[in-house]
Amino acid sequence: MNETKAHREQLAQLAADYDWLEEYCRQHPDLGRHAGQLRLAAALTRNVVGGSLEQRPDTPLHIAVVGGAGSGKSTVANFLVGSVVAEANPQAGYTRHPIAFTASPLSSWPSYLGFLGPLRRLDENQPSNLDEDVYQVHPVTMPQTDDPLADDVIWDCPDMTTWASTGYVSRLIEISALADVIVYVASDERYNDEVPTQFLQMLVQAGKAVVVVLTKMREADAPSLVEHFKNEVLSKIHNTGTIPPIPIVAMPSLTEAERADPAQAGARYRVQLLNQILVLCPSAHDARKRTLQNAIQYLESSLEQLLDVAKTDLTDLETWKTAVENGRKVFEDRYRKEYLSGESFRRLDRTRHQLLELLEPPGSAQYIGRAFSFIRLPYTLGRDFLFRSIYQSEASHLPEQTVLQNALASWLEQLQAESLRRTNTIGIWKSINQAFDSGLKQQSQERFQVQSRTFELMQGDELDRAGRALIDQLEANTSLLNFLRYGKIALDAVAIITVIALTWIPSWYHLLLIPVAVAISHIMAECVVWWRVDRIRASARTKRIEQLSAQISDPLAKWFEEWPTHGGSPIERMQIVLRRVPENLKALSAAIRSPKTV
């Protein structure tokens, strides 16, 4: 039970998605050609797939009479019924809404939700030129109770050729989708017209069984016209093989008597026509099964068309994403060049001093250490002087926040300029442009503020932690630390002793070598410490860029990229539809193909 409910929901959603796509295509001038096919897809979903899910019985079969204006659809409908029931008159395009004729009891009329979609059933009889989204059902009596079409519904449909038909062709499509058999009427004037032929092509693609009725020619011309139609028109209709070959029935210009009494006076045409329909539908069950399978096949094969509809938007979205991505690269690049390249992380100098101090021995040994440092004094002074005159501070740089703010502003302006350049097209760029006019900049600034706060806090922590870790690591390893401390003192002592021993008996100028010797161990220690701290500095730089990516530029870029697909924009709906339609279609076709329902 639950399953049925879920399927109903999927069905409604699928039909609604098709409807939305149809509407979308109508609004886009270059997509107008897809609108009809999408409408057909929606109608097939509602009327054929929906009917199957609702366990609609195989009868009545639906026979739709379609064709260009004035080609004689109403007359053919009368011949199918066997009596004059449809309003046939010379005004072209008189019929404006579909009218059903049926001999089967009206109680068996399908009445599930979604049947015939937006079309409303009229309760009382109205003239057939009522131009509204309605349909009528007229009960009729067939000439004989066992008439071949006694169980069927015959639909007299509006045309698709007059200038007014744009307003009502969707009604025609709705009924054509419902139909199990299409009777395509073409007059001697119309049979090679573009618009009706395209319509026929669409129905054949959708897997509808078709009978062609050629009308109004002179009796003598009938055979050659049929042949000509077969060669000129039918041969160009692409039949995928899901439907039987299309039969052609000729119905030359009728006499008044034949027109008035199709069952008797017009019997020769009627019998021919009914025979062809019977050939197409030997049993109601098979006919219905074919309708259903072909409908699903059509829906599945038309999925590619959806992508075609969305193509412009998707390409635009891709272009937008590329623009955002480029902007992100420039943003990070600017941060690296304008800030990071000049930043030397002064905090790490403290770590260096701490490390060097750590190497001085504690306790009573510290006096020895101090004595050595005193001896080293000439070296320390000389080093500082040299360092100060050699050392060039990197070029001064702006504060981090300012650099980031500037880079963000540039990023935004680059995106805005890009959207302005492309705004003459409709779609995404237009909406992006409007967004820039209505506070997109401010929103992104706010987002940036929030993100950059965490980013800022991270820096200090990160550096302190890295420096601290180095010191802690050394402090924890007591044996190594002691080895280094006393090793250094020992080295100094050895150096002094070596100098004295080598220059024995030392004169005063020999003693000048002592400070030099004592400096050697210190220089070694300094070099190692410098090297370690520099490594931290380098890794801090890379880490900083990573943090910028993770904390600011990535979330912002993501937000920009997804921006057009949020907030109820058409492209958001489009993406949902593109995802949902195949899913729902798959679920529904699986449900229908499973033996339980069939």
Partner 1 sequence: MSQLNTANAPFLRTLAPLLRGLERRLRYWHDLRLLYPVSAIQRAELEGLTDDLHRKAEALDVDQPLLVVMLMGGTGVGKSSLMNALAGAAIAPASFERPTTRDPVVYFHQSIEPERLDPALRLCRLVKHDRDALRQKIIVDTPDVDSNDLTNREKLVSVLPVADVVLYVGSQEKYHDQLGWELFKDHRQRSAFAFILNKWDRCVQTGPSGVRPDADLLKDLKNEGFEKPRLFRTTAQAWIDAAKANKSQPDQLPDGEQFQELRDWLEVGLTRLEIEAVKARGVGQLFDQLMRSLNGIRPPDLTAEAEKVRLEWKSTLGDASGMASEVLVGTLDPRRSDIENYFNLRGQDRFRGLMAAYLKLTSLRYSWRAFRPTLSVRTTSQKPEDDFELATFARGCARRAGERSLDQRNQALVNTLLVEANQVGFPLSILNDRTIQASRVNWDERWMQGVVESLNDVERELSNPQGSRAIVRQAVRLISNVLPEGALIASIFLLLWRFFLVEDFTPSLFHVFLPLFVTFGVLVLCHVLVMIVFPLRWPAIREQFQDLLKVRLNEEYSRIYLPIPGELAMGVLSERTTVDEIIRELKESSEWLTARESAAKVDELYGR
For partner 1, the binding residue among 52, 128, 205, 589 (CB under 8 A) is: 128
Interface with partner 1 (CB under 8 A), residue from 2, 107, 111, 424: 424
Place of tokens 């409007």: 434
Binding track over 322-361 against partner 1, x by CB under 8 A? --------x--xx--xx--x--------------------
Long-range pairs of 510-516 with CB within 8 A, sequence gap ≥ 24: 514/375, 515/375, 515/376, 515/377, 515/378, 515/379, 516/379
Question: Does residue number 392 form part of the binding site for partner 1 (CB under 8 A)?
Answer: yes
Q: Which of 233, 292, 540, 588 binds partner 1 (CB under 8 A)?
A: 233
132 binds partner 1 (CB under 8 A): no
140 touches partner 1 by CB under 8 A:
no
Partner residues linked to 66 by β-bridges: 184
C-alpha–C-alpha distance, residues 79 and 314, integer Å: 50
201/312 with CB nearer partner 1: 201
Report how far residue 111's alpha carbon sits from residue 529's, in angstroms, rounded to the nearest whole number: 87
Contact status: 70 vs partner 1 (CB under 8 A): yes
Binding residues among 460-519 for partner 1 as defined by CB under 8 A: none
Minimum CB separation of residue 286 from partner 1 in Å reads 33
**Could you say whether residue 212 binds partner 1 (CB under 8 A)?**
no
Among 33, 346, 388, 421, indicate the residue that binds partner 1 (CB under 8 A).
421
Give the DSSP letter of residue 408: H
**Shortest Cβ distance from residue 597 to partner 1 (Å)?**
41
Strands (DSSP E) along 391-457, which ranges? none
For residue 288, give both structure tokens: 């219905």
Q: Among residues 195, 265, 481, 550, which is the contact residue for partner 1, using CB under 8 A?
A: 195
Binder of partner 1 out of 218, 353, 370, 566 (CB under 8 A): 218
225 lines the binding site for partner 1 (CB under 8 A): yes
**448 near partner 1, rule: CB under 8 A:** no
23 binds partner 1 (CB under 8 A): no
As to burial, measured by CB atoms within 10 angstroms (0-12 exposed, 13-18 middle, 19+ buried), residue 500 is middle
For 427, left (φ over 0), alpha (ψ -120 to 50), or beta? left
The verdict on 410 binding partner 1 (CB under 8 A) reads yes
H helix or E strand, kind and range, residue 480 = helix 478-502
Nearer to partner 1, 342 or 506 (CB): 342
Q: Nearest approach, Cβ of 396 to partner 1 (angstroms)?
A: 4
Asked if 129 touches partner 1 (CB under 8 A), the answer is yes
Helix (H, G, I), strand (E, B) or coil at 268: helix
Mask for 71-110, x = binds partner 1 (CB under 8 A):
x---------------xxxxxxxx----------------
How far is it, in rounded angstroms, from Cα 100 to Cα 125? Answer: 11
Query: Could you tell me which residues come within 8 angstroms of residue 401 by beta carbon, excluding any fewer than 6 positions away?
Result: 452, 456
Please say whether the beta carbons of 255 and 268 come within 8 A.
no
Return d(Cα 244, Cα 210) in angstroms, integer: 8
**How far, in Å, are 248, 373, 474, 478, 486 from residue 481 at the CA level?**
103, 19, 6, 5, 9
Among 104, 293, 414, 445, binds partner 1 (CB under 8 A): 414
Site for partner 1 in 155-174 (CB under 8 A): 161-166
Output the CA–CA distances (angstroms, integers) from residue 274 to 155, 245, 281, in the order listed. 15, 16, 10
Q: In the complex with partner 1, which residue's Cβ is closer, 327 or 467?
A: 327
CB of 253 to partner 1, least distance (A): 9
Is the Cβ–Cβ distance between 49 and 229 less than 8 Å?
no
Q: Does 2 bind partner 1 (CB under 8 A)?
A: no
Query: Residue 315 and residue 308: Cα distance in Å, rounded?
Result: 11
Which residues are at the interface with partner 1 (CB under 8 A)?
Answer: 68-71, 87-94, 127-129, 161-166, 187-195, 197, 217-218, 221, 224-225, 228, 232-233, 236, 330, 333-334, 337-338, 341, 390, 392-397, 409-410, 413-414, 416-417, 420-421, 423-424
